[in-house]
A and B are shown apart, each in its own frame.
Chain A
Amino acid sequence: MYQYDEYDRRTVEQRARQLRDQVERRVRGELSEEEFRPLRLQNGLYLQLHAYMLRIAIPYGLLSSVQLRKLAFVTRRFDRGYAHFTTRQNLQLNWPRLEDVPSILDELAAVEMHAIQTSGNCIRNITADPFAGVAKDEDVDPRPYCEILRQWSTFHPEFAHLPRKFKLALTGATNDRAAIAVHDIGIRALRNDAGEIGFEYFVGGGQGRTPQLAERISPFVRERDLLSYTEAVLRVYNLDGRRDNKYKARIKILVKELGAPEFTRRVEEEHAKIKDDEGLVLDAREVARMTAYFEPPRYEAFTNGHTSLDGLRLGKDRPLARWVTGNVIAHRAPGYAIVQLSLKSKDLPPGDVTADQMDAVAELADRYSFGRLVVTHRQNLVLTDVPIRDLPAVHAALQAQGFATPNVGTVTDMIACPGLDYCDLANARSIPIADQITKRFDDLDFVFDVGPLTLNISGCINACGHHHVGNIGILGIDKMGEEFYQVMLGGSAGAGVGGGDASLAKILGRAFSADEIVDAVEKVVRTYVDVRNEADETFIETYRRLGPDPFKEALYGAHPAASQRTAL
C-alpha cells in the first residue's frame, strides 16, 4: 500500500497542530462557532445530535494492521470503545470530546492517517472495489489510480470550494463492487484491444433527494489523460454547477439539465485546452512508481492441495461449509481466498466494531493476510489474502469475535446509516429497524434459501444508507412527529459491466410505522420466495421480471387504494 514520504508526513502532522491551535482559540472565545465550523469540518469533525463525530479517512478502504491497531487505540483512549465503518469506507468515532480531537489526529498522523476530505464541498475520500488487486474478474488494479487521484485532489485549490461535495469511485473489474453508477464520477479501469490501459468514464450519478444513475461520457479515456479529463469534468462543474440552491448543486443536476451530450461536449472542449499541460499528463513513470506500492505480496506456491474452496464448501463441518460458501470468495492467486468479515450480527449495529475486535482483526491480518485488510462500502471488512489451508483456523477465530455470520450478500447483510440515534440530519432511526430485521431473519436456512438480496436503510432522504440502490430500500421519515418507513424495491448498485446492471428503487406505496415495517419486509421477502421462477432466480431478477405488483398486492392487497398514497 502507499507509504507516506516526508512531505506527506509533515502535512498530516501540521494539520493536527493547526487544529490544536484552532480548538484552543475556539475554547478561549477567540474564534466564533461560525469561524471555527469550516475549520473543524475540513478535519472531518462534525457536531451531531448528542456529540461530536470524527470521520477518519481510509483512502479506498485499504488499511494496514498497524493502522487498525491505532484505530483501536484511539477508539479506546479517546472514545467509548467502539466505532462505525461507513459506506464511504471510512471510520467514524461517535463520542470524541472537542479537546481530544487534536490528540487523535496526532495519533493518526503517526500511522499515516488523517481526517482530510471527509467533509465539506471538496472531493471526498475516493472509494474502490474492496477486492481490488485480488479479484479474479479484475482487468486493472484501480488502487494506483485511486492514489494518483487522491494526491491530485487533496489540496487542489480550485476544488476546495466546489458547489457541493464530490464523490469518486473506481473499479477495475467486470463486476462493479464499487457502485460507480451512483457516484459523481464513476471510473472503470480497463484495457483496450491493444492492451493499453484506459478508463470507462461515468458522470452524474448520485443518491440523496434526487437519485440518478451516472451517464457514460467516454468509453475510453487514455491513461495519460486521467488527470486532465477529471480536471476538465471538475472545471465544467465548478463553472456551470448551481450554487444558488444546495439541493440542486450536485453535478448530477448539471448533467441532467444540460443533457449528457452537451455536458460531454463542454468537458471535451475544456479537455482539449489542458490535456497536454505539464502536471496533468499522467506519464508512465508516475504510474509505475505508484503501481510499485501495490505490488502483490509474496504469495506461497501451493502444490499439495489446498487450492480449491470446493472441499470446504462440501465438507462435513456445516458451519464452516456455510461460511466458506457465503463469505469466502475465490482469489486470483492459487491457494488463496478472499475472506469477508460480516459486521452484521445480532450483537452490534451494522458496521460497528469494538476496539477489542479491531485488535483481534489486526492480529488475524498479521497472521493470515500479510497484515492488510479492506473496508467495504457495504460496511464489512475483508482479509484479502488468506491461504485456503488456513480457512478453518480463520473461521474459528472470526466466530470467537462475532464476525463469522455467513450472511454476506443476504437480507441480513444490511447497509444502515447511523440514523436518528446519532445523526443531526436524520428524520428516523435506522439501527433499531436493522436490529429487528436481523432478529426476524435469524433462520440461516431460510436466509440461504432466499439467496442474494441487498437491503439498505437510510434514516433520511440524504441516503447515506444507500436505500435507492437496495433491492429492498427502506427510507425513514418523520410523519406528524412519528417515525415511519417507506419501502422501495428494485434498486441495485450494479453488478454488470460498467454498472450496466444498476437501477434505482421505486417507492411501493404508503409508509409503514416502526411497528409495521419489519412485518412488511418479511412479506416482501416471502412474496419473492413464492413467485420466483426457480430457486436460483434472485430477488432482483424476479422483481425485474414481474414488477412491483405481486409485492404491492402482498403489502396493500386488502386496501389497494392505500398503495397509491405516498405518505410523506
Chain B
Amino acid sequence: MSEKPQTAFVITANRLSDGTVVYLDDQSRWIEQLDGAPSTTHAAERDRLLAFARSCERDVCGPYVIDFTLRPDGTRSLSVRERLRALGAEDARRRLGY
C-alpha cells in the first residue's frame, strides 16, 4: 500500500432490466456490492475495463468510471452521490420509511 493517497478507479453502471447500481468485478461480472469491485490506479487498465463495460450493452446502461481517493489505509473517499449509490435501493427505501 502506498504511503500517499492515490487516485483510483472503479467501473460502475446501472443494470438494464431494473436500473440497479452495479460494479464490474475482477471476473468481468456485474455485481451489486462496491466492496466486491476491485479498483485500479492505472489509467490504461481503467480504459481497458471501461471499454469492456461499454461492450456489455445488453446487460447495463451508462457505464462510467468512478474516480476516488484511495487512502493509505485502503479506505475510499467517495462523493456523496457515489456513497448513496453504493448503499443501494433497499437502503434508500428503508431510509425513506418504505
Contact = CB atoms under 8 A, between A and B. Distances in A.
B89 A51 contact: yes
A426 to B, nearest CB: 8
Contact of A482 (B80, B89, B95): B80
Contacts, number: 75
Contacts of A47: 14, 19, 61-62
B6 interface: no
Interface residues of B, number: 26
Given A80-B98, A421-B96, A432-B95, A51 B80 contact: no
B41 interface: no
Contact of A420 (B84, B93, B97): B84
A97 interface: yes
Residue of A27, A49, A349, A426 with highest tally of chain B CB at under 10 A: A49
B57 interface: yes
Nearest to A98: B17
Contact of A27 (B19, B58, B96): B58
A33 interface: yes
A49 B85 CA distance: 7
Nearest to B77: A481
Nearest to B68: A481
Interface of A: 26-29, 32-33, 47-52, 80, 82, 95, 97-99, 347-349, 420-422, 426-429, 431-432, 478, 481-483
Nearest to A348: B97
B20 interface: yes
B43 interface: no
A82 B19 contact: no
A50 B80 contact: no
Contact of B92 (A27, A28, A422, A427): A422
B96 A50 contact: no
Interface in B7-27: 14, 16-21
Interface in B73-98: 77-81, 84-85, 88-89, 92-93, 95-98
Contact of A483 (B17, B80, B97): B80
Nearest to A432: B95
A51 B85 CA distance: 10
Given A48-B19, A80-B93, A32 B57 contact: yes
Nearest to A429: B84
Contacts of A48: 19
Interface in B22-47: none
A33 B17 CA distance: 12
B81 A420 contact: yes
